[in-house]
Structure 1
Amino acid sequence: MGRTGNQMFEIASLLGIALIYDIIPIIPSNTLLKRFFNLPNIADRKKYGIQNKVVHRCSRPAKICSISKEFASGKKISLFGYFQSWKYFETASSLIRNIFKFKQRHVYNANTFLSNVSLNGFERVCFHVRRGDFIKKARLDKGYAIPDVAFFEKARQFYLNKFHRVQFIVVSNEKEWCMKNIFNVHVSNFSDPADDLALLSLCDHVVVTLGTFGWWGAWLSGGITVYFDFFPQNGSMLALGTKEDYYPPSWIGIR
């Protein structure tokens, strides 16, 4: 289900849950992440006759939910949903980082970009800017919000105050908007999402705005993460009981 970031949450949660319950995880062969990573335990369910016995559906993507009842059955279990919480794989973080190692071509492309723009002695901070579909969602007023230019300046100032010598990079699905509105940055020219995600992961720190793609870039980077603290909007249905499950406690919210 979903695209890159969503499927990364699904696979990471599957592996984390499997580790907790000491069972064998099976990753469906139709995952698009096969192109990015060398994933373990990929299987075609139809080919190997893997049938649903017990189904667990995660109805609230970013709210962790118990699966102990399903595992008590002792049967095969299929997980459905987005599982957008770091808590599902909190105890398996080293395993997940090892599995989500990009194929060499994506690492090469990202490193080549960085070698062409990097300044010696500077901290590299990468903004992930997603707009597009989120602008449409924000108009529906269901808890979605879009960061304005002021947010990027606040985030920029946060890192400048902390490190003084900082270089800013942007990964975005709206490169033209970024070049017109966010100044003194290097905008990624990649069209392959795997290259952009590898670039995010190789930067020292990441600024997260909207979407799970940037979330994973920040998590894989492992630096100091700043996120847009007005998503989801407080009091909205989208925000109820999900924020602490979605954003790790070490991340810093800025509005």
Structure 2
Amino acid sequence: MITQRLFGGLGNQMFQYATGRAVAAARGVPLALDTRDTDRRGGHNRFALHRYAIDVASDPALPPDRKGRPLRYAAWRAMGGRLLREAGLGFDPRVMQAPDGSYLHGYFQSERYFAGIADTIRRDLTLTEPLSFESAAWQARIAQDPLAVSLHVRRGDYLSAGNHGTCDAAYYARALQAVTDRMGARPRLYAFSDDPDWVRDHLHLDAEMAVVGHNGPDAGHEDLALMSTCRHHIVANSTFSWWGAWLNPRPDKVVAAPAVWFAALAQTNHDILPDSWIAV
């Protein structure tokens, strides 16, 4: 069995699940999830994969809780507990060689971990419950629009998180031009944000734009489904919109993403953008 520790929001949890699933598949063993951190934290960082068709063991054999039982955790490590902590922010090839019985801990923010089972991951990360009436109406509209481009603006906690920072209007203008050039047509933008009023009032781009702002913080999975229904994508420096673009299975999709993912220059992940995406 491979055990994957979950922490962070929905986008981070998807990266962690996908990587753990890929390692477990390579070893031919089940995947277990350690949700204790997400169960403790709640809010934005609560366990968020329960709405998806994930394939996990129902009775995981977890190591002692590092925070709740630190002495037992230390003893587990001393007795050979197979903790594999991701080294740095880029792709760590050691992870894919993790043996059966490993406990994985890290962000794992790279498609390289699970590109080999992409179809499986997209199937696993399919919602098991219907969208709300309003989201279903938006999805039908987007699905019929050949010019649909999702655009994501992350504000909220990023306004005070010094390591991330927010994408400015100049980035979105450049990204729009890059997508327009690849499409050969003027996109129709569908904007998603944790601050839709700010988008309406402050983001003025040279394209028709509809702000999809009806979903609150408890319905991020619905926004993600709507993003992935769009033909093409403009993502923020956010794992949330990264997945909104990646879950779109179209091989001809155009995705523009920030070339600089972190405001803190000491933090760099050269592997976060798939090769086919446009770094802007």
Q: What TM bracket, shorter-length normalisation?
A: 0.7 to 0.9
Shift of residue 193, structure 1, vs aligned partner:
0.5
Match of 1:90 among 115, 120, 128: 115
Q: 1:38 to 1:70 in 2, by over 3 A?
A: closer
Aligned residue for 1:238?
267
Please give the alpha-carbon distance, in whole angstroms, between the structure 1 residues aligned to 2:143 and 2:27: 46
Residue 155 of structure 2 corresponds to residue 127 of structure 1: no
Residue 60 of structure 2 corresponds to residue 60 of structure 1: no
Residue 138 of structure 2 corresponds to residue 113 of structure 1: yes
Residue 54 of structure 2 corresponds to residue 39 of structure 1: yes
Q: 1:213 to 1:69 in 2, by over 3 A?
A: closer
Please give the alpha-carbon distance, in whole angstroms, between the structure 1 residues aligned to 2:93 and 2:101: 19
Please give the alpha-carbon distance, in whole angstroms, between the structure 1 residues aligned to 2:243 and 2:107: 14
Q: How does 1:242-253 map to 2 (within 5 A)?
A: 242-243=269-270, 245-253=271-279
Whether the aligned pair in 1 keeps the contact of 2:153 and 2:194 (CA below 8 Å) is: yes
Whether the aligned pair in 2 keeps the contact of 1:131 and 1:174 (CA below 8 Å) is: yes
Whether the aligned pair in 1 keeps the contact of 2:86 and 2:95 (CA below 8 Å) is: no
Match of 2:176 among 149, 156, 159: 156
Structure 1-normalised TM-score? Answer: 0.83
Shift of residue 99, structure 1, vs aligned partner:
0.6
Q: 1:253 to 1:91 in 2, by over 3 A?
A: same
Aligned residue for 1:20?
26
Q: 1:55 to 1:102 in 2, by over 3 A?
A: same
Identity of aligned residues (%): 24
Deviation string 1:128-168 (CA, Å, 9 cap, x unpaired) is: 11022222223xxx5x3422112212222233333324210
Aligned residue for 1:185?
209
Shift of residue 67, structure 1, vs aligned partner:
3.4
Aligned residue for 1:228?
258
Secondary structure of 2:167's counterpart equals coil
Please give the alpha-carbon distance, in whole angstroms, between the structure 2 residues aligned to 1:3 and 1:145: 17
Whether the aligned pair in 1 keeps the contact of 2:153 and 2:192 (CA below 8 Å) is: yes
Shift of residue 36, structure 1, vs aligned partner:
2.2
Q: Which amino acid aligns with 1:182?
A: L
Q: Which amino acid aligns with 1:63?
A: F
Secondary structure of 2:247's counterpart equals helix
Aligned residue for 1:103?
128
Q: 1:88 to 1:108 in 2, by over 3 A?
A: farther
Aligned residue for 1:3?
9
Please give the alpha-carbon distance, in whole angstroms, between the structure 2 residues aligned to 1:84 and 1:109: 31
Please give the alpha-carbon distance, in whole angstroms, between the structure 1 residues aligned to 2:97 and 2:54: 28
Match of 1:194 among 221, 227, 239: 221
Secondary structure of 1:20's counterpart equals helix
Whether the aligned pair in 2 keeps the contact of 1:29 and 1:43 (CA below 8 Å) is: no
Aligned residue for 1:219?
246
Shift of residue 44, structure 1, vs aligned partner:
4.2
Aligned residues: 239
Structure 2-normalised TM-score? Answer: 0.76
Shift of residue 102, structure 1, vs aligned partner:
1.4
Q: Which amino acid aligns with 1:96?
A: I
Q: Which amino acid aligns with 2:169?
A: V
Please give the alpha-carbon distance, in whole angstroms, between the structure 2 residues aligned to 1:194 and 1:121: 21
Aligned residue for 1:166?
187
* Gaps in structure 2 of 5+ consecutive residues: 1-6, 39-46, 64-75
Whether the aligned pair in 2 keeps the contact of 1:28 and 1:44 (CA below 8 Å) is: no
Across the aligned residues of Structure 1 and Structure 2, the Cα RMSD in angstroms comes to: 2.6
Q: 1:40 to 1:149 in 2, by over 3 A?
A: same
Shift of residue 209, structure 1, vs aligned partner:
1.1
Match of 2:166 among 141, 146, 149: 146
Please give the alpha-carbon distance, in whole angstroms, between the structure 2 residues aligned to 1:119 and 1:50: 42
